Amino acid sequence: MESAASEILIDGVPFFRLYKDGRIKRLSGTENVPPGLDPKTNVESKDLLYSQEIAQSVRIYVPGTVVTSAQKLPLLVYFHGGGFCIESAFSPTYHNYLNALVAEAKIVAVSVNYRRSPEHPLPAAYDDSWTALKWVASHYVGTGPEQWLNHYVDFENVYLSGDSAGANISHHLAVKITNEKLDGMNLVGIILTHPFFWGKEPVGDEVKKPAIRAKMDGIWRLAYPTTSGSDDPWINPIDDQSFGRFLGCKRVLVCVAEKDVMRHRGWYYCEKLKNSEWGGEVEMIEAQGDDHVFHLNKPNCPNAVAMLKQVAEFINQVTKRRRASGRQSKL
């Protein structure tokens, strides 16, 4: 007879299984790759410890052209997805994606590793991400511990981004920046790819099947056991009365996929943001015929290639405007 310890509480195949005794078996996102020079993109990366206390690191990426550039580059701070439970900043999935994006956009990127649930339930991932962002911001005067950030980053041109849970984190940090200013860091925009937002009641044509909604609720409760539920502002910030009012940037790009169960939340986010007190620019990209994080699973498919170029263009729009006006920071 199967013991209670081996009974499955949440079957998150193909990503994880959570057992009734609290153990989690991660079925994907467990492989790590080392940093270094990527011969395909000519992007170089290195790992740096941003918090001795929680033993967490970031992976920093710079394009091969940075040493010959006369201008400092935009900075993208990236938060990986995985339902707050799987994946890392060092997995081949994210390493390959950021190599490609850094090469395409000609930017510096910082990929943040954070502690994961259930071993470290939320808000640990939010707290770690904020700590990492403060560490990055500490380089703005050029005297921080990492020379790549000191020498190559234009801190007046910063973006936050992530996919799924990482997009959720990006939104919340953009709000937190409004209340807790980071000296020297100007957040221009956020890029939310297939954002992990949810809610008790379906929106639009969102799936109404009880089994699917229960599974989504279960994943959220796994990440945040003490949550108030699926209308908790951490997972459903869109229905908060102050939504948009304190978003600390003026540009937002939301990417959704036609077959993604969370697609409608992305559209809902955009519509609510447009009708809020925010007053910035919001853009949408929808990939037809594809599912959640397809761009990571199929990076060479036409939709993924197109989306990579659109994200790079979104980041570089401000850079082009500033160069035209002669305001670009120099190395």
DSSP 200: S
- Residue 95 known to be catalytic: no
- Residue 11 known to be catalytic: no
Maximum distance among all Cα pairs of the chain, rounded to whole angstroms: 73
Point out the catalytic residue in the list 38, 128, 163, 260: 260
Tokens of 238: 């869109």
Angle between helices 92-105 and 302-325 (to 10 degrees): 40
Return all residues near 259 (Cβ < 8 A) that are at least 6 apart.
Answer: 289, 290, 291, 292
Point out the catalytic residue in the list 161, 164, 194, 295: 164
DSSP 111-175: EEP---TTTS-TTHHHHHHHHHHHHHHTTTTS-SS-HHHHHHEEEEEEEEEEETHHHHHHHHHHH
- Cα 5 to chain centroid distance, Å, stands at 34
d(CA 51, CA 69): 31
Question: Given the structure tokens 């400092």, which residue do they identify?
Answer: 72
Nearest to 133 by CA among 195, 200, 79: 79
Point out the catalytic residue in the list 95, 172, 194, 292: 292
- Residue 164 known to be catalytic: yes
Question: Given the structure tokens 């996919």, which residue do they identify?
Answer: 163
Tokens of 313: 């263009």
What are the catalytic residues? 164, 260, 292
